[in-house]
Structure 1
Amino acid sequence: MADILKIYTIYRSCLLWILVLTSSFRYGYGLTCYCQGHCPNDNFNGTCEARPFSQCFAAVEEVYNPDTGLPEPEYTYGCLPPEEKGLMQCKGHLVPHLVPKSIQCCHQSDNCNRLLSPMYEIRSTTPDPNSGFGSNEHVHYLALLVSVTASVIILFVMVVCVYLHYKKKEDKRQVSIIKAPCVPYLGGNSTIKDMVDHSQSSGSGSGLPLLVQRTIAKQLVMGHSIGKGRYGEVWMAKWREEKVAVKVFFTTEEASWFRETDIYQTVLMRHSHILGFIAADIKGTGSWTQMLLITDYHELGSLHDFLQQYSPDGVAAGRLAFTAASGLAHLHTEIFGTRGKPAIAHRDIKSKNILVKRDWTCAIADFGLAVRYISESQEIDIAPNTRVGTRRYMAPEVLDESLNKFSFEAFKAADIYSFGLVLWEIARRCNTAASTVSEIITDESQEKLVTYGPDDYQQPYYDCVPSDPSFDDMYNVVCVKKVRPDIQLHWLTEEPLKTLAQVMQECWHQNPAARLTALRVKKSLTRINDESDMYMYIEKYNDKEMLPSV
């Protein structure tokens, strides 16, 4: 009995080994697998020959049945290629899928996959009680929804806050406008002075509103021409019976018109000794264009014209010099503040660009070449312009082209040189006791007392260069020979000529760094500006009908 049991055990072991070897042989040399829905060569159903070391598979996937409107399983069978027989492929049913699916593999015998019945995990329509929100997918969607909603709410709150702030600010502005004194810009009784004063007190300080300027320009009634230069013509015109000066620029001088308009509308530019700006506009039809600059009208004309007609005494000469220096000092001085004024250099100071007002004070005009200094960015604002200054009044550093165009102080020093020549013109025509010489002339046994007054008006360097000097003429006189206008001896014996002579010599120094500043010039001329005597002087001339009444 023991021998029989031993023989049976040996038989079973041999049979098992035969089965293993047979299976390994079939696995190593290929299988025949059942195929359905995954057959080679697009066969409908049947078998497929698996390559060596490949496996048979049975797969199931949940698909939507449009007839029933329900999901149902769809089975496929076939052969796995050797490269897809790995653990990750045949154990894919252990991993959750977005679309439920599963797969099983076998290689024990031919058509072994026909007996396989893989199953997938059926999705539940009810949330898991152990999960707060059902699934991770739902958590992501909910987080996205919450973040988007919060962003929209925050944005809405910000928009509401900005709107309420703007509305509150606008309401305050409307209240201030309602409470402010009403001065209509173009009311029936409004004068130019009323409008300018109103714009200075309630506006930006840079002039009248653009619409008002254009309206004034359209309502002008042109009068007669009062002057003509290289860059335009000046007319006397009327607006509502008020006299104004209208500078009409030539069409080739558009850059000068733009620049001068821009400078005049600089914040805080308005000053009693700067020509008062009223409006600027461009008028024209298809065939012609007029660029207009409207300013205050001063019937005494420029200082150049005034000195040819009148010989002011010491008081009047001091007043003319001091007020011209005040205007230049205002230009050169920067006013700091939220809406401050930049420092400005004129670059064309001469007696023709300084006007004389009815009270015998001066106002500086013509800013077509002016430059501004922006201190915040340390930038010199020079507009592109082909125009150049007046050669007769050019400083030495301008004539020899050594002026540092990147230094604003250099432009101011050049202005001071030119202003020194203007002071010389005033001093030459000053009528004082020292400038009046009397002598007795014997003629045919008769003695006559002859009195000589002040010198005739002449421009600087009149005795050195022609009436229209070239650059070379001025360079040779000013830079090479270093000539300056003559200082007469009697100027050094009596005020205000003594002060004027001293100041003008310090203004036209060859070295720009040695020249006075505009504020220093103004302070030096303060002692010869006697306003009380000046009003008596004007009254005297008004009585003689030499001037229109003030």
Structure 2
Amino acid sequence: MAPKSRKKKAHAKTLTCYCNVCPEESVDNEKCETRPGGSCFASVRGIYNSTTNEYDVEYEYGCMPPEQSGGLLQCRGSLYLAGQNIKCCDSGEFCNQNMELEFQAPSTTPSPSDTQQIDQFSYNQLALLLSLGVCAILFLIIVLVVLVTYRRRETKRKQVCLLESGHSSHLSPLNDLFEQSSGSGSGLPLLVQRTIAKQIQLEKSVGRGRYGEVWLAKWREEPVAVKVFFTTEEASWFRETEIYQTVLMRHENILGFIAADISGTGSYTRMFLITDYHENGSLHDYLQMHVISPRSLQELAHSLTAGLAHLHMEIFSKPGKPAISHRDIKSRNILVKRNGQCAIADFGLAVKYNSELDEIHIAPNTRVGTRRYMAPEVLDESLNPTQFESFKLADIYSVGLVFWEMARRCVTTIPGTKSTACEDYALPYHDMVPSDPSFEDMYDVVCTQKIRPPIPERWQDEEILQVLSKIMVECWHPKPTARLTALRIKKSLSKIQTDGSGHIV
């Protein structure tokens, strides 16, 4: 082996090669000479351009070092080395100049068959996950519906069981029944209402009007009021029941509704409306029997407008409450609660308004309200029934007259003395029209003569009476659009402060 090696070294020669990347010692810029045993090479490589997302191809020609220096090892390696295709030659001068080189870009993407398999796998995974997700959501919805339905049925079942149970010690009071109801604010379930109505025990008559008669009654030893309608007032019963069962109707200054029922034979029908019972009776009766302090006057007036503001207000929610106009505000239709606040009652003439549909629901009722409290635009028939605001402003006129009734019974101290003064109770226009005035009587006073109830001078000596006097004048203004809103009146009255003795401060 040694002689052979020495022979090869003896015949080692240099080559002249074509170069475009020539060494510094090269004399000519297009050729170079190899060292003994070296070779010529040609290479092609691609440099990735991230801007164009393609490879820029570069060709290189030059001299390769001898094998002892590691040069030929590159030529004997893989066809591609780090993205570079290299070919070497030692067959003669400039043997590398016309070598054919082909660049193939390295690829990290899988073959088409692999890609299809991966895409199909990903699609199947995604479809499976989506299916599982939809199934889970549907399952949760079904569970929630079942739970809600079960809970409501259990609540109703417990209510009926409590009502039908003979053990009074296990009975829930009416307030508990309302707390157990659906929470929509539209009253108790109909089955519970009918069960209560069958268990009512009438005790004594406490009032009578053109619609029927009001009785004090007992349900499981709890006092309730029962309005028994005349057979001719079926429309009023239907309307009042509908209004009371309106969603979100319940309010501390609106008479609390408990139940309604209708029963009878083909020739005789009884219609009941069961509500909270207030022993003080109507505001009309209360003012005849009592004088009131400035503090009490403020409480009565403020609570009345709070109830009316809630009635007039439309609540936008799911479910929501329509705006409602009472259309028969008077002192007989307002009850006085034990805490000294008012509760508005009698909704047989009420009007509902849905702003989304722009619909006014006027009940087919022959009653037209109370003439003494009718606004000028009602008396002269100029009220626009297609505009719901017209009904609300007519309510405000009536409220102004009720304020006048309250204010007359408010006691004030005569300046410079220790004596007190107040007027006797009287109805609005008591000294100008008969006890049961006709349309013509009221039209002549209110519309033709434009008379309004007088305001005594003593009312200027007490702040609440001063404020209420100004409110009254704006409430009964002949031009409806100049009147205040219930919410504005409520805010004005809530600003008045009183001291511990009941005097305004």
TM-score (norm 2): 0.68
CA contact (8 A) 1:435 1:454 kept: no
Alpha-carbon distance, 1:409 to partner: 0.5
Paired AA for residue 371 in structure 2:
R
User: Which of the residues 335, 341, 365 maps onto 1:355?
Assistant: 335
Paired AA for residue 173 in structure 1:
V
Q: RMSD of the alignment, in Å?
A: 2.7
Q: Indicate the residue corresponding to 1:407 in structure 2.
A: 387
Q: Indicate the residue corresponding to 1:118 in structure 2.
A: none
Q: Tell me the distance in 2 between the aligned counterparts of 1:297 and 1:452.
A: 33
Paired AA for residue 509 in structure 1:
H
CA contact (8 A) 2:311 2:325 kept: yes
User: Which of the residues 147, 167, 177 maps onto 1:195?
Assistant: 177
Q: Indicate the residue corresponding to 1:58 in structure 2.
A: none
CA gap of 1:375–1:526, structure 2 versus 1, over 3 A, is same
Q: Tell me the distance in 1 between the aligned counterparts of 2:211 and 2:415.
A: 37
User: Which of the residues 326, 330, 335 maps onto 1:346?
Assistant: 326
1:89-145 deviations in whole A, cap 9, x for unaligned?
Answer: xxxxxxxxxxxxxxxxxxxxxxxxxxxxxxxxxxxxxxxxxxxxxxxxxxxxxxxxx
Q: Tell me the distance in 1 between the aligned counterparts of 2:337 and 2:469.
A: 24
Q: Indicate the residue corresponding to 1:392 in structure 2.
A: 372
Structure 1's consecutive aligned runs of 4 or more residues displaced over 6 angstroms after TM superposition are 160-166, 178-183, 435-438
User: Which of the residues 268, 276, 294 maps onto 1:296?
Assistant: 276
Q: Indicate the residue corresponding to 1:227 in structure 2.
A: 207
CA gap of 1:170–1:396, structure 2 versus 1, over 3 A, is same
1:407-434 deviations in whole A, cap 9, x for unaligned?
Answer: 0000000000000000000001101114
CA gap of 1:391–1:435, structure 2 versus 1, over 3 A, is farther
**Residues 1:463 and 2:445 aligned together:** no
Q: Tell me the distance in 1 between the aligned counterparts of 2:497 and 2:364.
A: 39
Q: Tell me the distance in 2 between the aligned counterparts of 1:248 and 1:175.
A: 36
Q: Which runs of 5+ in 1 are unaligned?
A: 1-159, 439-450, 538-550
**What does residue range 505-544 of structure 1 map to in structure 2 within 5 Å?**
505-528=473-496, 530=498
User: Which of the residues 444, 469, 475 maps onto 2:443?
Assistant: 475
User: Which of the residues 330, 333, 356 maps onto 2:310?
Assistant: 330
Q: Which runs of 5+ in 2 are unaligned?
A: 1-134, 163-169
**What does residue range 403-442 of structure 1 map to in structure 2 within 5 Å?**
403-434=383-414
Alpha-carbon distance, 1:292 to partner: 0.2
Q: Indicate the residue corresponding to 1:236 in structure 2.
A: 216
Q: Tell me the distance in 2 between the aligned counterparts of 1:163 and 1:528.
A: 56
CA contact (8 A) 2:414 2:420 kept: no
Paired AA for residue 264 in structure 1:
Y
Q: Tell me the distance in 2 between the aligned counterparts of 1:177 and 1:231.
A: 36
Of the two, which has the highest radius of gyration?
A: 1
CA gap of 1:486–1:198, structure 2 versus 1, over 3 A, is same
CA gap of 1:400–1:283, structure 2 versus 1, over 3 A, is same
1:302-323 deviations in whole A, cap 9, x for unaligned?
Answer: 0000000000010111111110
CA contact (8 A) 1:342 1:374 kept: yes
CA contact (8 A) 1:319 1:529 kept: no
Q: Indicate the residue corresponding to 2:148 in structure 1.
A: 173
CA gap of 1:464–1:222, structure 2 versus 1, over 3 A, is same
CA gap of 1:175–1:498, structure 2 versus 1, over 3 A, is same
Alpha-carbon distance, 1:288 to partner: 1.8
Alpha-carbon distance, 1:334 to partner: 0.8
TM-score (norm 1): 0.62
Alpha-carbon distance, 1:500 to partner: 0.8
Alignment identity in percent? 61
Q: How many residue pairs get matched?
A: 363
CA contact (8 A) 2:433 2:442 kept: yes
Alpha-carbon distance, 1:196 to partner: 1.5
CA gap of 1:209–1:174, structure 2 versus 1, over 3 A, is closer
Q: Tell me the distance in 2 between the aligned counterparts of 1:487 and 1:480.
A: 20
Paired AA for residue 233 in structure 2:
E
SS at match of 1:528: coil
CA contact (8 A) 2:156 2:189 kept: no
User: Which of the residues 360, 364, 372 maps onto 2:344?
Assistant: 364
Q: Indicate the residue corresponding to 1:93 in structure 2.
A: none
SS at match of 1:246: strand
Alpha-carbon distance, 1:518 to partner: 0.5
Q: Indicate the residue corresponding to 1:157 in structure 2.
A: none
Give the stretch that moved more between structures: 394-403 or 181-190.
Answer: 181-190
**Residues 1:283 and 2:272 aligned together:** no
1:149-173 deviations in whole A, cap 9, x for unaligned?
Answer: xxxxxxxxxxx99997874443342
SS at match of 2:261: strand
CA contact (8 A) 1:436 1:452 kept: no
